[in-house]
């Protein structure tokens, strides 16, 4: 009898952790969408974000757009920060395209400790960036799915002279890679 209750408990916990959209539509619920509008990346109202390097939110938004386009995650990727006239028209987009809107919010940041990365290693002193991605249906505004992803920079080699905070850039790139893997699970 204890095995039955343990199994029931595990199944109920699984049902609580599966996204709501996945519960209502089994399978690949993002596959019905063929266009994605990537909105401007926002910073959460969090005191930890006071040390977040200026301009990296814009860099993250550009990286999301570029990587989604490069990996053809959706047939059409639209940069939501550009005006309609600035967009490069995509001739592959069908006339009856169903669009999603991606809103990104940076919710946590830890600049890490360079000295710990250099001396101890093993993940000590890692730079960490955490973001929440919310996908909404463009026609209804209803949230379809949300996903939280954390990126880390564990290395100790940094490239100087780029004018950017290299560890934060690398941690943000880690976030985008994780986002693309998560989208592909439901696409």
| Burial class of 151 by CB neighbour count within 10 A (0 to 12, 13 to 18, 19+) | buried
Asked if residue 18 is part of any domain, the answer here is no
* Cα 173 from Cα 56, distance rounded (Å): 11
Asked if residue 173 is part of any domain, the answer here is yes
Asked if residue 1 is part of any domain, the answer here is no
pLDDT in tens, 57-108: 999 999 999 999 999 999 999 999 886 545 554 545 455 679 999 999 999 9
The pair of three-digit structure tokens given for residue 47, joined into one six-digit string: 């005191």
Asked if residue 14 is part of any domain, the answer here is no
How many structural domains are present in the chain?
1
169 neighbors 160 (Cβ within 8 angstroms)? no
> For residue 82, what is the domain's CATH number?
3.40.50
Asked if residue 7 is part of any domain, the answer here is no
pTM value is 0.74
Asked if residue 5 is part of any domain, the answer here is no
Residue 30 pLDDT exceeds 80:
yes
- Helix (H) / strand (E) element for 110: namely strand 99-110
Asked if residue 3 is part of any domain, the answer here is no
Residue 165 lies in domain = 24-185
């Amino acid at each position: 009898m204890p095995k039955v209750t343990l199994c029931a408990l595990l199944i109920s916990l699984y049902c609580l952790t599966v996204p709501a959209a996945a519960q209502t539509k089994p399978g690949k619920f993002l596959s019905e969408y063929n266009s994605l509008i990537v909105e401007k990346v926002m910073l959460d109202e969090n005191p930890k974000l006071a040390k977040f390097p200026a301009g990296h939110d814009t860099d993250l938004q550009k990286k999301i757009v570029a990587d989604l386009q490069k990996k053809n995650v959706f047939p059409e990727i639209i940069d939501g920060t550009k005006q309609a006239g600035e967009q490069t028209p995509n001739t592959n987009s069908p006339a009856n395209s169903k669009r999603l809107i991606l809103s990104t919010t940076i919710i946590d940041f830890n600049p890490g400790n360079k000295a710990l990365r250099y001396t101890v290693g093993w993940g000590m002193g890692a730079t960490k960036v955490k973001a929440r991605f919310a996908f909404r249906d463009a026609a209804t505004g209803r949230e379809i799915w949300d996903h939280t992803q954390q990126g880390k920079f564990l290395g100790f080699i940094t490239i100087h002279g780029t004018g950017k905070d290299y560890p934060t850039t690398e941690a943000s790139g880690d976030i985008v890679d994780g986002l693309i893997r998560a989208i592909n699970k439901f696409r």
